[in-house]
Structure 1
Amino acid sequence: MGTNGLNGLRPSSKNTNKDVQDKVDTAAANVVSTSRVLKPGIFAPIPTFFLDGSEDLDLKSFATHVVRVAKAGVGPLIAGSMGEAIHLTHSERTTLIQTARHALDDAGLTDVPLIVGTGTGSTRETIQLCKEAAEAGADFAIVITSGYFAGALANNRKALKAFFVEVAAKSPIPIIIYNYPGASGGIDLDSDLITELAEECPNTAGVKLTCGNVGKLTRICATVSDPGFTSLHPRKNANAPFLVLGGFIDFLVPSTYANAHGAITGLANVAPHTIAKLFELSENTLQDGSLLPEAQRLQGIVARADYTIAKASIAGTKSLLQKLYGYGGNPRKPLPPFEPEAFKALWNHPHTQELVKVEKELSGKLKA
């Protein structure tokens, strides 16, 4: 894969946005509606990178990273939780979408779809963000439940359902339901509600379960992964099947056997080749049981690393990217930077080192 490994695609030391922005402005005028296919697999919530001092968008590093993960076989998700969507303006989201789309197209990755986070406080603004995302070149939106008024919404099933029904009906692009209690005031959508939305809302294209509930995933898959589901509940867009995606990567092998469709995982930013390989192995075990021990071995490495690195959150992930690829930087304030001593402990942790070793091997950078 050429420049696809740990040392490839390093941005210029000048770290300027001008060249990238000029290309984006030209491409934005020519954006056309596309219908890229949403396929089972691994997706990475791409961090948003900021320039030191100003906290302006670092578009060069962002474009570099989007292409890096996509070349490894991982789909990019823009302006999600890892992307600090809550810290972005509408115009910044648009700029990131246009930058990502242009970078992918320029790299010959024209078939790679863009998933974009559009969840926010109100139903009205969420719908507006879906429209703006579509206009900027997004193929799919991922929508989190608003958690600011969780006290009023958490036990109001009717209101929760109405939110997703209205957003799905009015969004120009298919939406993915994002169930993340940790970022939505503790609101945790149950399997019955998610299944109902899949059945009744033809413009839904899946769910991300960052609740980590394998039982919930199994129950949803029992309906939506059934061969007859699509004929009974056809999608508005035939290229947008309803995918059930884990929000963590530590149970990918078990979820494969529940007929799930992959995962959206922050760890795929750090080790995209490894996570893509794990998905490939997991899927192939369904036809060749002899591959299961290797899938389980790699799942163990990934699960241990995910447990260790996820606790470092956004700042820790960015610090690892800085160490591995030469870009990363700090989150936007008020999120604090990752302290040097904490990073030293994270980098030297055996779980991290084991993952880095596998990633180097799979990306072709480890010399024999």
Structure 2
Amino acid sequence: MPATNGVNGAHVSRPLKAGIYAPIPTFFLPDSEDLDIPSLETHVVRTAQAGVPPLLAGSMGEAIHLSHDERQTIIKAARKALDAAGLIHVPIIAGAGGGSLRETMLLGEQAAAAGADYSIVITSGYFAGALAGNRKALKAFFTEVAEKSPIPVIIYNYPGACGGIDLDSDLITELAMESPNLCGVKLTCGNVGKLTRIAATVSESSFAEAHPRKNPDAPFLVLGGYADFILPSASVNGHGAITGLGNVAPCTIVKLYELSVAAQKDPSLLPEAHRLQGIVGRADFTIAKASISGTKFLLEKLYGYGGAPRKPLPLIEPEAANALWEHPHVQEIVRMERELSGKQ
């Protein structure tokens, strides 16, 4: 089912492809904390031009701090900016996780109406004590979300953001088999073994034949939530990553992914893939520890926009910010990004 939100009302197909995606920060104006739409538009176009499509209103995008109207506003703004830049075929993924099944379905409908091509849904963690051990309830939640969503849905497995709820590989694989409107999983649990097990099933040609997707443009992708195992993921038929580092160094992450895939057929590329994975993995670990405020600080340093998160999230302290910028792992990836982007 092609997207209907194309230029001049045209039908535009925006396939969900293996590769790198970036969870885009939501930018806010100083003092008022109102949405900073110009910075969002600039950044979405910047990453997309580097080959990294956006995920809006996710964890990095402070979705929990956004109203329903604000979520729709940033989706509409991003779609308009991408189309204006000639990037009409770049898909938008939008976060649609809510506190209840009812709210989650509403957020998915609103995201689709605003121009999102795909949604990503995390389990609500408020009642994690009741849900974490209830496999039946967890499966029913994602089954119903997918069944009723107007756009394909990615499962978001991030125990750190939902009270420790951690979907196992058996449950995710079952959902992939039984819910044709599910189009992937993001594993921010960082469990490479889990990724390996899921990919071993869904990457087989027989899987697509036996379990066709509702939308042929949306195959079931197995995506990491960090950039430090892109090469290992490729070696077990994983499909890339949705990674916050894609905001800071999109060209570098794309190059690593392309090398990782090519090296499966040409082992002579492995040494360079190993080298680049080391640079990316070290930077990912260092920057992730600085959280959203650290990523925004780096964007401000590199590109002139970033700003602060919404309160109560704190700004990164000046000493910590300077230490982050001067950290050898950060400087290493900044040099690599400048080299690959041609901006020395």
Does structure 2 retain, via aligned residues, the 8 Å contact 1:79–1:93? yes
CA RMSD of aligned residues (A): 1.3
Match of 2:286 among 303, 308, 318: 308
| Shift of residue 32, structure 1, vs aligned partner | 6.5
CA distance in 1, matches of 2:194, 2:91: 27
1:227 equivalent in alignment to 2:217: no
In structure 1, the partner of 2:273 is: 295
CA distance in 1, matches of 2:131, 2:7: 40
CA distance in 2, matches of 1:28, 1:190: 37
Unmatched 5+ stretches in structure 2: none
Does structure 1 retain, via aligned residues, the 8 Å contact 2:6–2:88? no
In structure 1, the partner of 2:308 is: 330
In structure 2, the partner of 1:172 is: 150
1:59 equivalent in alignment to 2:37: yes
1:149 equivalent in alignment to 2:127: yes
Does structure 2 retain, via aligned residues, the 8 Å contact 1:42–1:279? yes
1:318 equivalent in alignment to 2:318: no
Listed one character per residue, the Cα deviations across residues 137-194 of structure 1 (whole Å, up to 9, x for unaligned) are 1000000011000000000000000100000001000000000000000000000000
Does structure 2 retain, via aligned residues, the 8 Å contact 1:35–1:139? no
Does structure 2 retain, via aligned residues, the 8 Å contact 1:33–1:137? no
1:244 equivalent in alignment to 2:216: no
SS for the counterpart of 2:150 is: coil
Flag the 1:34–1:124 CA change in 2: closer, same or farther, 3 A: farther
In structure 2, the partner of 1:183 is: 161
| Shift of residue 353, structure 1, vs aligned partner | 0.5
In structure 1, the partner of 2:232 is: 254
In structure 2, the partner of 1:270 is: 248
TM (normalized to structure 1)?
0.91
CA distance in 2, matches of 1:282, 1:91: 39
Match of 1:42 among 13, 20, 23: 20
CA distance in 2, matches of 1:284, 1:195: 27
Q: Using the aligned pairs only, state the percent identity.
A: 71
| Shift of residue 328, structure 1, vs aligned partner | 0.2
| Shift of residue 365, structure 1, vs aligned partner | 1.3
Does structure 2 retain, via aligned residues, the 8 Å contact 1:28–1:98? no
**Which amino acid in the other structure matches residue 56 of structure 1?**
D
| Shift of residue 35, structure 1, vs aligned partner | 3.5
| Shift of residue 30, structure 1, vs aligned partner | 6.1
**Which amino acid in the other structure matches residue 222 of structure 1?**
A
Flag the 1:184–1:335 CA change in 2: closer, same or farther, 3 A: same
Listed one character per residue, the Cα deviations across residues 228-260 of structure 1 (whole Å, up to 9, x for unaligned) are 111100000000000000001101101101100
**Which amino acid in the other structure matches residue 256 of structure 2?**
L
Runs of 4+ aligned residues of structure 1 deviating over 4 Å after TM superposition are 27-34
Unmatched 5+ stretches in structure 1: 1-26
SS for the counterpart of 2:270 is: helix
Match of 2:138 among 149, 160, 180: 160
**Which amino acid in the other structure matches residue 230 of structure 1?**
A
Match of 1:214 among 179, 186, 192: 192
How many pairs align? 340
In structure 2, the partner of 1:18 is: none
In structure 1, the partner of 2:115 is: 137
| Shift of residue 121, structure 1, vs aligned partner | 0.5
CA distance in 1, matches of 2:114, 2:327: 41
In structure 1, the partner of 2:170 is: 192
| Shift of residue 34, structure 1, vs aligned partner | 4.3
In structure 1, the partner of 2:90 is: 112
CA distance in 1, matches of 2:7, 2:125: 36
Does structure 1 retain, via aligned residues, the 8 Å contact 2:13–2:89? no
| Shift of residue 39, structure 1, vs aligned partner | 0.3
Does structure 2 retain, via aligned residues, the 8 Å contact 1:31–1:136? no
CA distance in 2, matches of 1:130, 1:43: 19
